[in-house]
Amino acid sequence: MGFARRIILGTAISALAVSMGIGTPASAATDKIVVIQEAPVIQQNEKVVEIGQTGSTLYFEGLLRSTTNKRIGLLTGQTTVINLFPESGEATVRYRELVFVLPRGQIVALGTSIYAAKGTTNFNNDNAPVRIAVVGGTGKYRSAQGEVITTKRADGSYRHVIVLDN
């Protein structure tokens, strides 16, 4: 089974589990962590020349700060473009893996985010938020579940709202 099909299948299974009541219910108590990621340092894989082509992967890291600008950690991650229908000119799918390294442990998030086609409203231009699932962690966050809502800011930094289910 191909990489993209495994991702799509995994996302469908996760959605089905939550709809069947197997996952954490939406009404559960939550904790919210808001962090600001400085503009990231980015490195692209060497196999694909143009960022944004199907299969291109970006690796990045950025310092994390609290909303009061105190340095609190580091974010590392990668984004891979999965564009199964590039000829359509419509939205592309990007598989994202994020690891938030915080003083009391790590929070791991992954999932796919949909980005509009170039020339239209898109994440890089209008700062529209994208969401992925929190799938675990270490230390204080070892049983973490929830979601991360990411918004790109005008200065190139990112605002991440991590919502954890209790």
CATH number assigned to the domain comprising residue 82: 2.40.480.10
What's the pLDDT at 166? 77
pLDDT greater at residue 60 or residue 117 = 60
Residue 47 located in a structural domain: yes
Residue 154 falls in which region: left (phi positive, over 0), alpha (psi -120 to 50) or beta: alpha
Mean pLDDT, range 60-77, rounded to an integer:
96
What's the pLDDT at 115? 73
Residue 60 located in a structural domain: yes
Residue 18 located in a structural domain: no
Domain containing 40: what range?
28-165
Residue 8 located in a structural domain: no
Residue 9 located in a structural domain: no
**Count of domains observed in the chain:** 1
**Single pTM value for the model:** 0.73
Residue 61 located in a structural domain: yes
Mean pLDDT of the chain: 77
